[in-house]
A and B are shown apart, each in its own frame.
Chain A
Amino acid sequence: MSVTSPSAPQSTWTKADIKASRKANRKLHRKEYIWAGAFMAAPVIGWLAFLLFPLGFSVYASLTNWNGLGNMTFIGFDNYVLLVQDPYFWKALWNTVFYMIGIPIGLALSLGLALALARKIPGRTFFRTVYYIPVISSLAAIAILWQWAYNGDFGLVNQFLSIFGIDGPNWLMDSTWSKPALIIMAIWKGLGYSTILYLAAVQSVPRSLYEAAALDGAGAWRRFRTITMPMVRPVTFFLVVTNIIAGSMIFTEINIMTPTGGPEWSTASLVWYIWNKAFRNLQMGYATSMALVLGILVLIVTVIQFRMNKRNEFSIE
């Protein structure tokens, strides 16, 4: 729509009038502006105080020689140079990466369980509850119980294996089995959470897709591979990302079950090493540099995951 305005009549408003009007307008809205500003300030201040400041502080601390108690001494990138040369950093990083093996295993088991629990089997509510109990249990309590279960002599795990004639290892005292032992425990602990999410995803897949596929002659495996798997992919993606971040922070169970880092330091995770460096050995600056490197590594992995997820994205119109 266009309007051709006739020669506009000369405005009777003087400059003073305009100014007064603007002032009145500003006054009218001032309260609203204040309130809007206050509401916006809360998250901004929170972000500055709890995200940007600690992050900036960490970056600076990583460039200092600091024992966590006294003053900081700026030493440039010395901590990062030391980190590259520190064999225990690499060993702890390797151990941490090794723990990630549990993620695909845990997800596969969760999906299988979710598919089973999605069926109308008797007692499914009971099973759903049972699988979720470890998720809400205290990690410290669970770690102590599993420490007993893994006892080479009297432990439940080896007693169970002996039923099948298997002579189980001394799990937490054997450098070969200590990491798998912790992975098994972590899978058990996280199974319920992943299963609940998968269950919701599986149940929300439209039945019509399965019916159409069945009419086309697709078998159960084919339906699972081409319908269920892609439809639950967003949940898989979410679980992989969050599990990697959580897995990189593994600490409590290590510190309780193998407080000295396990046989031949086989269970020491990077966060456990960071904690020891920071609080036991008073090398807060160095520990911070390791924490930042770990954070950057997780960032890189996460960005790669987002990109890969994007590449495999599809849609149903």
Chain B
Amino acid sequence: MGCEFGGPAGGTSLINDDQREAYIMRRKGLSAVAVTVAGALLLAACSSDGSEGNASEEPDTSGGDAPNELTFMFRGGEYDKLAYETAIAAFEEETGAEVNMIITDADQYATKLQAAIAGNQVPDVFYIESGRMQGYVYANVLADLTEYVDQATIDNVWDFGTTAYRFDKETGEMGTGALYGLPKDVGPFGFGYNTVMFEEAGIEPPSPTEPLTFDEFVDIAKQLTQDTDGDGELDQWGTGLNVTWNSQAFIWGAGADWISEDNKTVTVDTPEFAEALQWFADLGLVEGVTPSAEQAQTLDTYQRWMAGEIGFFPVAPWDIATYNDVAANNPEVFGYDVIPYPVANEGDDWSTWLGSLGIAVSENSKNKELAAQLATYLSTNLEAQKILAENKVQIPNLIDYATGEWIETDAEATGWPANSQAFLDIAMEKGRPLPGTWTYTPEWYDNFWIGIENVVDNGSQTAADFLAAKQPEMQMLLDQSWVSAEQAKAAG
């Protein structure tokens, strides 16, 4: 099913001779063992690497041996490649280095990197996720870049872009201590609205800087939820949000959180958390401003949003190119802009999650200093940043460029939404890491989503009951995560 394999030859001999029968029986026993052992090994092979590629075709990921040779392993699309080719060409010219680029499929990157580490074939420079960083640091895979990156460079990159890669090995605290990576990007998960729907409904557009309150949000969403063709069925809705990716901003907007500041206590059992989650669930269950549970699969709300059927929906930099195409092709139903996420009460501070992918250097690189220089180049080279921003892959990493030339002229000229300042606000101060990314493993946070459909889709469980039952289980997994971190630290 999952893996393809050749089985044993089918059929059994049909003979009566006792001795031969006994012999065949023994052989069958051995065959059974052989078949199963082969199966178990295939099982291990399948579980160790989800890819179905041919091992002999795998590129050599090991770091360069010559004094000026480097290997850079990354994942991404054509524009990432184009941007890095530009940055690398400039880097090679300036330093005389030779950089070998290895690009992999996005969904296979993490397992390939782990396999490269296990096989002692670590590339000199490679992508690293902030959430997976701790294990790599404890295993001495990542080089401390603190002494290689000057303060001026760090000061000109979004604060989140560097704190996400700071880790204090002694205390196990993220966001502080040595620097183990530089940002490939920071990804602000913004919120948006359909400008055409608002216009047609005669609703005043939301403020680009002041967040709506939950009540105002529901009020507008109700106005947008309509049966436009009079057939008795709703054709458009106020919103349609997937709980796994979209509820964080609302929970935070109500002053609740998944975890305490020291990342040691699960805090989902607070009244404000229950209230916020229930409010989120009631958008569909009580207020009726989202498509029904059957209609609300992620793919569908995304498509409905682009079909002009959804009023409020997330907008992130990686969506911009697609949304622009839709807006160009169907301007009569779709147009969009970015706004702050709603908050529980007027005056509350809004926030949303901010992702980041990092560029790290191997601790065992033979050319560590040069590799650190390359990482800095890839993260902060102005030309590369311009290519990535122009092609709507990401907002620029460089603060001076992003808050100057880019937001003033380049963003609008290259098709970014009118209120792209909201993305910069998120990168600068409104963004938070997703819960679970700053702990040793995210298992405790992943556990939160198991059974969440009983609260948000069918309403068979209240948010308060769900959370009361969840907290101990999540806390146990979080405790385990800390124990694992300690063990990893001790094992080295």
User: A246 contacts B491, CB within 8 Å?
Assistant: no
The stretch of B109-117, B187-195, B314-322, B326-334 in contact with A is B109-117
User: A67 contacts B43, CB within 8 Å?
Assistant: no
Known: A67-B135, A280-B443, A303-B29. A73 touches B10 (CB 8 A): no
The stretch of B31-39, B60-68, B158-166, B200-208 in contact with A is B31-39
Chain A nearest CB from B363 CB (Å) reads 12
Query: Is B295 at the interface (CB under 8 A from chain A)?
Result: yes
Known: A69-B117, A73-B491, A282-B488. A197 touches B48 (CB 8 A): no
The stretch of B136-144, B349-357, B373-381 in contact with A is B136-144
Query: Is B15 at the interface (CB under 8 A from chain A)?
Result: yes
User: B1 contacts A153, CB within 8 Å?
Assistant: no
User: A279 contacts B111, CB within 8 Å?
Assistant: yes
- CB-defined contacts of A129 to chain B, threshold 8 Å: none
Known: A71-B492, A72-B491, A275-B47. A253 touches B1 (CB 8 A): yes
Whose C-beta in chain A lies nearest to the C-beta of B450?
Answer: A265
Query: Is A16 at the interface (CB under 8 A from chain B)?
Result: no
**1/0 per position for A171-213, CB-CB distance to B under 8 A?**
0010100000000001001100000010000000000000000
**1/0 per position for A113-156, CB-CB distance to B under 8 A?**
00000000000000000000000000100000000000111100
Chain A nearest CB from B99 CB (Å) reads 25
- CB-defined contacts of B488 to chain A, threshold 8 Å: 67, 69-70, 282
* Complex: A294 Cα to B41 Cα, angstroms: 11
Q: How many residue pairs bridge A and B at CB < 8 Å?
A: 210
Identify which of A54, A186, A246, A278 contacts B3 (C-beta below 8 A): A246
Identify which of A154, A173, A189, A235 contacts B11 (C-beta below 8 A): A235
* Complex: A189 Cα to B3 Cα, angstroms: 13
- Report how many residues on chain B are interfacial, defined by Cβ distance under 8 Å: 68
User: A295 contacts B36, CB within 8 Å?
Assistant: yes
User: B32 contacts A249, CB within 8 Å?
Assistant: no
Known: A263-B453, A302-B36. A315 touches B47 (CB 8 A): no
User: B10 contacts A237, CB within 8 Å?
Assistant: yes
User: B15 contacts A241, CB within 8 Å?
Assistant: no
* Complex: A210 Cα to B79 Cα, angstroms: 67
User: A282 contacts B1, CB within 8 Å?
Assistant: no
Identify which of B16, B42, B114, B492 contacts A279 (C-beta below 8 A): B114
User: B3 contacts A234, CB within 8 Å?
Assistant: no
Identify which of B12, B50, B139 contacts A234 (C-beta below 8 A): B12
- CB-defined contacts of B5 to chain A, threshold 8 Å: 246
Query: Is B457 at the interface (CB under 8 A from chain A)?
Result: yes
B residues adjacent to A (C-beta < 8 A): 1-3, 5, 7-12, 14-16, 25, 28-29, 31-33, 35-37, 39-44, 46-48, 50, 110-111, 114, 117-118, 132, 135-136, 138-141, 244, 293-295, 297, 299-300, 440-443, 446, 449-451, 453-454, 457, 484, 487-488, 490-492
